[in-house]
Amino acid sequence: MKNSYIDLIKQSYQFPQNGFELQHDFLTFHGVSLHALIQKYGTPFRITYLPKIGEQVQKARRIFNNAISKNNYQGKYNYAYCTKCNHFFHVVKEALSHQVHLETSSPNDIDLVINLFKKGIFDKKKTILHNGFKTDGYISRIFELQSLGFENSIIILDSISELSRILKISTKFQIKIGIRMAINERVNAAYNTSRLGIRYEDIIDFVEKEIQGNERIDLKMLHFFVDSGIKDSIYYWGEFQKAIELYSEIKKIIPSIDSFNIGGGFPIQNHLGFQYDFESMAEKIIKNIINTCRFHNIKEPDLFSEFGQYTVGESGAIIFQVIEEKQQNDTELWYIIDNSLLNTIPDAWAMHEKFILLPINKWENGYQKVHIGGISCDHSDYYNSEDLNQEIHLPKMDDEKDPLYIGFFHTAAYQDAVSGYGGIKHCLVPSPKHIIIDKDASGNLIDFLYSDEQSTDDVLRILGY
Ligand SMILES: Cc1ncc(COP(=O)(O)O)c(C=O)c1O
């Protein structure tokens, strides 16, 4: 039995794998030398590796299109990116370079779309799916988009009252709409039915009374989203089946409805042992739609997804230096890092979300069980278990002059939106640097600083000093 960290990893998982590899004893991420980035920029820093975004889009498109042609499905697959997951221009631009449609959730999102259009990155034929609560301001912004000539903007109704509010704000265009079906939550959830969307039991009545025969509106889509993710579980398929049955019933009333939207929910790798059969899930989705549509003798719909986390999550990482080792009792050893976990990966604290955690160096050293602590003074600013394991093991530190560096990987989804990019953070710990990594026209890796570590001036300015 060998006792180095690398032996532990190789005995526990397949390694190297999925963008993680050792080169000259240092970890690389998608071929990017993290050692070189540490030397060039210094920790702490977050990185966004843009090419991963396109790879994810292409993979989903490939597996859905394979399932479509293998099963002779009549509709088309459409990949929409939900901006709320990561709004950064460089991220949305990268996704758009792979011909995605967009999903919006607030009035500011509309300005984001218009900005992308003005920059020549988004065209007016693309589909824009408008989810979220429709305030009057949001509705007006959507109509503005339509008057600018965006032909495929679809307002997905989150409630019955939204329709009358939409119709009150006049527009000369016929309004394309979708209906979001509220899902029932899993057993033991804090509530039974999601507040998002229209009650399942009310939808047919609503369609018959308020949509059928109304020439101002064009019902295009049924939407549902199981926020716990697309999983091969009785619960997921139960909600899925309810939605596709509902679509079939609506199609008999409004034959022009032609799209079925499964929302987001494709997962990302959050531990090295992660396994998920994307191909078989896509095929099951396609086959279930076919079976239901054939039973009801209706044409299969165009399929939309709005994958957020799946699109961007695996493109991000955050790298820290361990700045102190603290033995707090006989069994508990802390590695204190040079920023805050609460501030940089808030889902770890708020949702008990796990991320892939790996050391950057010292893989040949022996390992020990540790807790990782941030430098804010909040007691919850720590991380001490992995998804498959109740413990964290990291290499032993051996030389003060040669520190240990660690990284949390696949962190690009939602963390900045939840934490607030820049801004005021717990204990005024500054937001770390942000480095973008891309490939140039010849395929060589390039990196540049997108934003420096937050300055004291910036912090004091926000606070009114
Ligand atoms: C309506 C809607 N679609 C898609 C998504 C994206 O979900 P995910 O990131 O799990 O793919 C969300 C996330 O909140 C959502 O609310």
pLDDT tens-digit series, residues 362-417? 999 999 999 999 999 999 999 998 877 889 999 999 988 999 999 999 999 999 99
Atom of ligand 1 nearest to the CA of 131: 1
Q: For tokens 């259009």, name the residue.
A: 117
Ligand 1 centroid – CA 230 distance (Å): 11
Pocket of ligand 1 (CB under 6 A): 82, 85, 103, 131, 225, 263-265, 306-310, 413
Q: Which residues contact 210 (CB under 8 A, 6 or more apart)?
A: 160, 163
- pLDDT tier at 172, thresholds 50, 70, 90: confident
pLDDT at 465: 97
- How confident is the prediction for the chain on average, in pLDDT? 96
- Type and span of the H or E element at 263: none
Mean pLDDT throughout 183-189? Answer: 90
So what's the pLDDT on residue 170? 77
Q: Which distant-in-sequence residues (6+ apart) come within 8 Å of 215 by Cβ?
A: 174
* Section 258-281 average pLDDT: 97
Q: Nearest-CA neighbor of 180 among 106, 233, 259?
A: 259
Ligand 1 centroid – CA 406 distance (Å): 29
Residue 413: CB atoms within 10 Å? 26
Provide the whole-model pTM.
0.96
- How far, in Å, is the centroid of ligand 1 from the Cα of 313? 12
- Taking the C-alpha atoms of residue 290 and residue 116, their distance in angstroms, rounded to an integer, is 36
Inter-residue contact 178 to 131 (CB < 8 Å)? no
pLDDT of the residue at 1:
55
Q: What does the buried/exposed string (b/e) look like for 206-217 if buried means 16 or more CB atoms within 10 Å of the residue's CB?
A: bbeeebeeeeeb
Alpha carbon of 263 to ligand 1 centroid (Å): 6
Where do the H-state alpha helices sit in 18-96?
34-41, 51-70, 89-96
Domains, the chain, ordered by start: 5-51+313-462 (2.40.37.10), 73-307 (3.20.20.10)
pLDDT (mean) for 30-53: 98
Say how far apart CA 73 and CA 75 lie, in whole Å: 6
Cα 312 to middle of ligand 1, angstroms:
12
Give the pLDDT score at 390.
85
Atom number, ligand 1, closest to the C-alpha of residue 310: 11
Tell me: pLDDT of 276 over 90.
Answer: yes
Q: What is the DSSP letter of 306?
A: -
For 326-374, give the DSSP string: EE-SSS-EEEEESS-HHHHSHHHHHS----EEEESS-TTSBEEEEEEE-
Find the Cα–Cα–Cα–Cα dihedral 92, 98, 101, 107, rounded to 10°: 10
